[in-house]
Amino acid sequence: MDYQATTPVDPRVFEAMRPYFCELFGNPASKSHSYGWRAEDAVEKARRQVAELIGAQPKEIVFTSGATESNNLAIKGVVDGYADRGNHVITVATEHKGVLDVCKHLKNAEVTILPVSIDGLIDLDQLRAAITDRTVLISVMIANNEIGVLQNVREIGKIAKERGVLMHSDGTQGAGKIPVDVIADNIDLLSMSGHKIYGPKGVGALYVRSRDPRVKLAEQMNGGGHEHGMRSGTLNVPGIVGLGEACAIAKAEMAEESKRTAALRDRLREKLMAELDQVYVNGSIEHRLPNNLNMSFACVDSESLLMGIHDVAVSSGSACSSATVEPTHVLKALNIGPERALSAIRFGIGRFTTQEEVDYVAGRVIEAVRKLRELSPVYEMSRARE
């Protein structure tokens, strides 16, 4: 129940990858023999599959080691490549650390971090007001990895285009789960990762728009000039083949899969809320990934709840650091208060989740919450005030 963290490799993806480990082991940069040619053909097929998922052209896909590298290449590449035009970047307080930490380490750049409302959405008027004549990039994720909230990237991209600013989106959680069209959504750069969509770990992609406008990126990894000179390094052929196959499966099955996972997500939420009081959903219900549920259970510490359901894989809304439990930066940004933030649990429904598993998890959570609340004088006081 933690499919936002990672996904298993789909057996169909694994079978597509298998030949490229031992039999078809060529280097796609080897241009003088059939081993290299066959590897190159496999890479180019995968490039087409990735492009088709997001409405891009194959030549606009750059293969990387994952979304973190893609984010680094996109953000640093734009800041370096457009230094003559400006040095201002706009992002959001709930972005993944793979964006926020990149922005924190930018040299000679000014970064504006926009707040979000309690539903996790940004205020588009605040975005408009934040843009200056020195702004070169807006980076806003499609879907949040903790609370599943979907930002209005199409409108954000439209605002960016009207002001002549490039739009980057961390699409790690969104691409392959909801429809993404980089042209209609006005996205200039999009980051993706294989292991979030039933592909292998250690491989990802960056979409880089080639026209209207043509995005120029400053190379961040120097070497042999691979990937149109944007990302040097020998290509991970089995991983790339797996990413391509995962994208093809997602494109074919997304509509049905989204409907199924949303139904399971709603079933879990309804069961929990029917049996437990003082339970809250964090982030917008309307603008949300179909497979994400982030809930707080009042008067229950999330770490204690995790131990109470140790046979279930879920993640906590809090992180332990130096023996001090702190809410994550995402939950802090929602301004829901420390007590609610420290009682948050993220549930991730996936391709292989069954209704029986959802019912089992609901029962385990209800049982554990009730036991923990029996030991909580704070809960008894809150009940008395009702």
HEC letters along the chain: CECCCCCCCCHHHHHHHCHHHHCCCCCCCCCCCHHHHHHHHHHHHHHHHHHHHHCCCHHHEEEECCHHHHHHHHHHHHHHHCCCCCCEEEEECCCCHHHHHHHHCCCCCEEEEECCCCCCCCCHHHHHHHCCCCEEEEECCCECCCCCEECCHHHHHHHHHHCCCEEEEECCCCECCECCCCCCCCCCEEEEEHHHCCCCCCCEEEEECCCCCCCCCCCCCCCCCCCCCCCCCCCCHHHHHHHHHHHHHHHHHHHHHHHHHHHHHHHHHHHHHHHCCCEEECCCCCCECCCEEEEEECCCCHHHHHHHCCCCCCEECEEEECCEEEECHHHHHCCCCHHHHCCEEEEECCCCCCHHHHHHHHHHHHHHHHHHHHCCHHHHHHHHHC
Q: What average pLDDT does range 95-104 have in this prediction?
A: 97
Which amino acids are annotated catalytic?
A: 320
Distance CA 141, CA 173 (A): 9
- Residues of the chain above pLDDT 90, percent: 90
Domains 11-250 and 253-385 share a fold: no
pLDDT range class, residue 285, cuts 50, 70, 90: very high
pLDDT range class, residue 322, cuts 50, 70, 90: very low
Q: Domain limits of the chain? A: 11-250, 253-385
- For 14-44, what is each residue's pLDDT tens digit? 999 999 999 999 999 999 999 999 999 999 9
Distance CA 89, CA 220 (A): 18
Is 253-385 in CATH node 3.20.10.10? Answer: no
Predicted TM-score (pTM) of the model is: 0.95
End-to-end Cα, the chain, rounded Å:
33
pLDDT range class, residue 320, cuts 50, 70, 90: very low
- For 69-96, what is each residue's pLDDT tens digit? 999 999 999 999 999 999 999 999 999 9
Amino acid at 265: R
- Residues of the chain above pLDDT 70, percent: 97
Reading the block at residue 355, the tokens are 């209704």
Question: 11-250 adopts what CATH topology?
Answer: Aspartate Aminotransferase; domain 2 (3.40.640)
Q: How many CB atoms lie within 10 A of CB 1?
A: 22
User: Residue 286: is its pLDDT beyond 70?
Assistant: yes
- For 207-254, what is each residue's pLDDT tens digit? 999 999 999 999 998 888 898 888 989 999 999 999 999 999 999 999
